[in-house]
Amino acid sequence: MRDAAAIALATIGAPAKTAIPQLKPLLNDPSPAVRGPAAFPLAQHGESTPEIIQEVRQAEKDPDEDRREYAAFTLGTVGKPARDAVPELRALLNDIFPEVRRASALALGRIGEPAQAAVPELREALEDLDPGVRNNAARALGQIGQSAKAAVPELRQALKDRNSSVRSRAARSLGHGYAADDAILELSETLKDPAQLVRQFGAESLAKIAIALADEAKGLSNRELDQAINYLEITQQSLTAAARADTGNSTEYKSALETVRLALNELQVERHGEIASDPATTWLLVLAIYLLGLPLLWWLLLWLRPLWLFNINRTL
């Protein structure tokens, strides 16, 4: 009975707040079947103490798949304070039930950067047979951010997923702080995708990558600058073509296009201003001065020497 009451309160949402005083004593109940369900609504309504989170973590090992799913969902609601539950959530990404795997991937994304240890499992989850798992894994990798940069190859591949939701989520995640300039070619292709959301997120991510490249310009070598400029020139062409073809969403493309143009201009200014600082270019300049300057110096000496001797003789 206590078990059923706790579960009922966990599922009714905001009204369960009024029952928090009655739920807290249940955390001391001798039965884990009571403590776990009591912890769910407490965690969801801001009572995220270590003891409560620990009870939810224990529920992730429950033989009942519904309990495991709800435990993962609850930890996702808690967010970053549930960072200690990342090991259990990583394990749940291999659960036999897709609903549990979906909830686990969603929770890891909501925990964010502290869930970076789960990146290897989330990369594998991008190939899950269930599209919901793939979608949530792509979302989570974007929410983890820069710490998930190793997943860029899998996210690039996910841009070709047969499910449009997965493609759109992968397109959006590639713009989350990765500076994934090597994904520009694939993202440019998303501008031709039949799904409008894929095209929209593709354009947004291209603009974000352009901003990231511009921010990093001063730390790039000339070779890297040339590559970045080439990528952004391709991006500019793709966005221009997309704006012409998809007139219904041309405003979004034009906004991204303006961002790319500004970033491209910054990279070009940096490239032309850094020519002399490039080691290879510096050596070429030194060599040119040596090859051209040394013969000229000898010619001047040979030309001036007779005049010098003539002046000495005239003086004597």
pLDDT digits (tens, 9 = 90+) for 283-303: 555 666 656 666 666 566 565
Q: What is the DSSP string of 52-120?
A: HHHHHHHHTT-SSHHHHHHHHHHHHHH-GGGGGGHHHHHHHTT-SSHHHHHHHHHHHHHH-GGGGGGHH
Question: Mean of the pLDDT values across residues 224-234?
Answer: 90
Q: How far apart are the first and last CA of the chain?
A: 128
CA-CA distance, 193 to 33, in Å (whole number)? 48
CA-CA distance, 270 to 76, in Å (whole number)? 43
Question: Mean of the pLDDT values across residues 77-104?
Answer: 90
Tell me the three state secondary structure of residue 253.
Answer: helix
CA-CA distance, 69 to 124, in Å (whole number)? 19
Q: Does this model's pTM top 0.85? A: no
Q: What pLDDT, in 10s, does the model give residues 51-66?
A: 555 656 665 666 778 7
**Tell me, what's the pLDDT at 73?**
82
Residue extents of the structural domains in the chain: 181-275
CA-CA distance, 202 to 134, in Å (whole number)? 18
Question: Mean of the pLDDT values across residues 247-268?
Answer: 86
Copy the structure tokens of residue 206: 């291209």
